[in-house]
Structure 1
Amino acid sequence: MDMQPPPAFVQVVQSEAPPDAPVDPVPVKVDVSKYIPESATAVTLIVTLTPPTGQALVYAAGRENEGTLFKGPRSIDEVRLAGPIIYVKLYGATNFDIQYTNYRQPY
């Protein structure tokens, strides 16, 4: 008669803690009043990111859901304004540079 060990019972327990979610970056406050008039409703920006694989979300106060996403080493796009302050959230980037190329004013 062959003797075999009894079958092993293994129970896998899933952790009760939620998985680690990416942390939302702290926005950087940028005052644009030195470069464009206070009455401007939108500004065209060239955003340069370091490292070039990063991304930046740029938005005006109160318009967090209407932000403009800038990708790659250098990109250009328009950001709607709600005053002289914009905010920049960096995703995968450690540094940014902004150039102001144009702006829109109400008629």
Structure 2
Amino acid sequence: MDMQPPPAIVQLAQTEQPPEAPVEPVPIKVDVSKYIPESATAVTMIVTLSPPTGQALIYAAGHEKDATLFKAPRSIEEVKLDGPVIYVKLYGATSFDIQYTNYRQPY
């Protein structure tokens, strides 16, 4: 009787690579002082995005947690203000257009 070693059991473990985190878009600075008084506390705007599947977050400096979401192709929302500058982050959109329709000022 021939003695043979038992068959070797070899397991190849695939190393799981963590999914790549999505790249956070660079905020685009927009000066609204030509259209809205500096004392305004909020502005209602119509945002048109291209392509129509994109989205945009718009917020005032320091108020990222209060960002307003605009969904393409065109939506109207109110954005809180804190000075003459807002920031736009585009998600899946490559361009945007803003129309300012109304604003609120303190009493």
TM-score by length of 2: 0.89
Q: Deviations over 1:5-63 (max 9, x none)?
A: x3541221424x54210000000000000001110000001000000000000000010
C-alpha root-mean-square deviation of aligned residues, in Å?
1.5
Counterpart of 2:60 in structure 1 is 60
Q: Percentage identity across aligned positions?
A: 74
Counterpart of 1:3 in structure 2 is none
Aligned counterparts of 1:105 and 1:8: Cα–Cα separation in 2: 75
Aligned counterparts of 1:34 and 1:72: Cα–Cα separation in 2: 25
Question: How many residue pairs get matched?
Answer: 102
Counterpart of 1:43 in structure 2 is 43
Shift of 1:106: 0.2
Counterpart of 1:19 in structure 2 is 19
Aligned counterparts of 2:22 and 2:102: Cα–Cα separation in 1: 34
Counterpart of 1:32 in structure 2 is 32
Structure 2, unaligned runs of 5 or more: 1-6
Letter of the aligned partner of 1:19 in structure 2?
A: P
Structure 1, unaligned runs of 5 or more: 1-5
Aligned counterparts of 1:52 and 1:27: Cα–Cα separation in 2: 20
TM-score by length of 1: 0.89
Counterpart of 1:79 in structure 2 is 79
Counterpart of 1:103 in structure 2 is 103
Higher alpha-carbon Rg: 2
